[in-house]
Every structure is written in structure tokens, then in C-alpha cells.
């Protein structure tokens, strides 16, 4: 399997790292607001992200207005991995799956 993360330019890696950190914090806040427990998540929010690592919105799927570009819907809470690689992989995989249909 090809590791595309190794081919990503440093500026984009930094973008995904910052976004991953933000989603990690925001995910905890969303869980607190929704009184989630470790075993039971009541939050049904998604982070909508395009391949450039731009956060389009964080909301429930019913409220997302869409985008003219392909985007990924990443379930919240998101577990930050410290590098952004897991987020990049999740976004890339989700967009590839959508565009293959």
C-alpha cells in the first residue's frame, strides 16, 4: 500500500496537523456539551473537510450545506494523533470513496 503522507508537502502537513489539533479539542467540547460518556457518544456531529485541509463546517449531517468541491465527512469526536497523518488518511479515503461511485 502506498503511503501518500510521505509525499505530502510540508505546508499541507502543517495544515492537517493544526486542523487535527483543533478537531481534537473541539471534539472534547462537543462531547462535553452532549454529555457523552466513554461508552456512549450522543454527538452526531461531523467535520466536513476538503482535500486541501480546509474545515468547511462542524455540524450534524442534516445541517451541512455541501460544497462545490469533493469533501470528507469525519465523525466527531476526532482522535488527534499528533501529526495530522490520521486525519489526512481519513479525508483522502472518504473523498476517494465518494468520487469512485
Residues 11-32 pLDDT 10s:
999 999 999 999 999 999 999 9
Q: What percentage of the chain reaches a pLDDT higher than 90?
A: 64
Task: With CA atoms as reference, report the closest residue to 88 among 26, 23, 21, 17.
Answer: 17
Q: Is residue 3 part of a domain?
A: no
Question: By residue range, what is the domain housing residue 54?
Answer: 10-34+41-100
For the whole model, what pTM was predicted? 0.89
Number of domains forming the structure of the chain: 1
Per the domain annotation, does 4 fall within a domain?
no
Domain assignment present for residue 84? The answer is yes
Q: The C-alpha cell of 21 is what?
A: 489539533
Residue 69 maps to a domain: yes
Residue 2 lies in a domain: no
Q: Determine, yes or no, domain membership for 74.
A: yes
Amino acid at each position: 500500500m502506498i503511503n501518500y503522507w510521505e509525499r505530502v508537502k510540508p505546508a499541507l502537513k502543517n495544515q492537517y496537523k493544526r486542523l487535527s489539533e483543533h478537531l481534537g479539542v473541539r471534539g472534547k467540547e462537543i462531547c462535553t456539551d452532549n454529555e457523552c460518556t466513554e461508552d456512549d457518544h450522543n454527538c452526531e456531529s461531523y467535520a466536513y473537510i476538503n482535500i486541501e485541509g480546509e474545515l468547511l463546517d462542524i455540524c450534524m449531517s442534516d445541517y451541512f450545506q455541501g460544497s462545490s468541491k469533493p469533501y470528507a465527512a469525519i465523525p466527531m469526536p476526532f482522535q488527534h494523533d499528533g501529526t495530522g497523518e490520521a486525519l489526512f488518511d481519513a479525508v483522502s479515503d472518504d473523498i476517494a470513496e465518494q468520487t469512485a461511485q
